[in-house]
Amino acid sequence: MRKRIFSGAQPTGELHLGNYLGALKNWVALQTEYESFYCIVNLHAITLPQDPATLRQKTLDLARIYLAAGVDPERSTIFIQSDVPEHAELAWVLNCVARMGELERMTQFKDKGKGEERASVGLFTYPVLMASDILLYQTDLVPVGQDQKQHLELTRDLAERFNRDFGETFVVPDPYIPPVGAAIMSLKEPEKKMSKSDENLNSTIFLLDDADTITKKYKKAVTDSGTEITFDGSRPAISNLLTIYHLLSGKPTKDCEAHFEGKGYGDFKSELAEVTIEFLKPFQERVREYDDDSLEAILKSGAEKASAVASETLKNVYQSMGIR
């Protein structure tokens, strides 16, 4: 049997280069080898306040993005999390397996909840819903960016604990975090990751940004002191821009450094803008190709395929726990 992949993204805003290079790109590459499930995790989105009409729209928009990026509905199962109620059901069960202490150690909760009393309980148990997403499909591999590593460790711990206490039920999944591109950083604050919720829009290149916007954002991007355009951990801003150039141009890292030897930051930024615009052009054309009806048909068939696997796993879980 082919090994399985599961991954997902939240319909909370527009996807950006970080989401693409850290995750989506690998979903597309791996779908030929693995049986793949790619989910739009709208139940995760409501851990923070969302406007209902916007959430509904963003959910469909994200499905379009998956398709335009190259996720092939003939090979991969694309579906919306809330269309498969087993995700929420298994999350309840795993909430009873997870411990307060281990969730309190999750750094994303600390970042997004900002230590506030009013942070939702859903935000606190968010990693448990994520573990449910993954474990429902008996997933072998989870392609994600670096920021999700801790959540994957929790998922593995929950699977192992459940298997130990109730008998072999879940496959224990491995993360797939790409060697380059797993943490694309903000253009304005290179010590922070590029994020769709960054208040400063100049920090983030969105996949649907037009040519002019892309050029302007790179122009405003911070650089490091010095003049060299090389990969160098002590110069995070230039290394980040060069990583983006390397991944989008497909040129080996040494060739990128050689290409920019003796050139200034201004030239580098214009070339980086050109490469980005060229790279995104066909993607942006494809996004417009999918009308709502064809999209709904893909999502309906995706939900049916996903449900068949998810219901089988949940049945086994309930059975081993004595839940009727």
* Binding residues vs ligand LTN (CB under 6 A): 6-10, 41, 44, 130, 133-134, 142, 144, 148, 151
Residue closer to ligand LTN, measured from CB, 185 or 214: 185
* Tokens describing residue 146: 């670096």
- Give the H or E element holding residue 165: helix 149-166
**Which of 25, 58, 188, 193 is flagged as catalytic?**
193
196 in active site: yes
> For the chain, how far is it from start to end, CA to CA, in angstroms?
30
Question: Rounded to the nearest whole angstrom, what is the least distance from the CB of residue 103 to ligand ATP in the complex?
Answer: 17
Residue 6: strand pairing partners:
37
Q: Which does 142 bind (CB under 5 to 8 A by kind): ligand ATP, ligand LTN, none?
A: ligand LTN
Three-state secondary-structure class, residue 206:
strand
**Strand 35-40, strand 4-9: pairing:** parallel
One-letter amino acid of 150: Q
Question: Rounded to the nearest whole angstrom, what is the least distance from the CB of residue 93 to ligand ATP in the complex?
Answer: 23
Residue closer to ligand ATP, measured from CB, 90 or 184: 184
* Tokens describing residue 232: 């160098």
* Tokens describing residue 321: 């726990």
217 in active site: no
Q: Which residues bind ligand ATP (CB under 6 A)?
A: 9-10, 12, 18-19, 21-23, 144-145, 147-148, 182-184, 193-197
Residue nearest to ligand ATP (CB): 22
58 in active site: no
Give the span between the Cα atoms of 180 and 206, in whole angstroms: 19
* Tokens describing residue 144: 């994600």
Question: Rounded to the nearest whole angstrom, what is the least distance from the CB of residue 323 to ligand ATP in the complex?
Answer: 30
Please identify every residue annotated as catalytic.
112, 193, 196
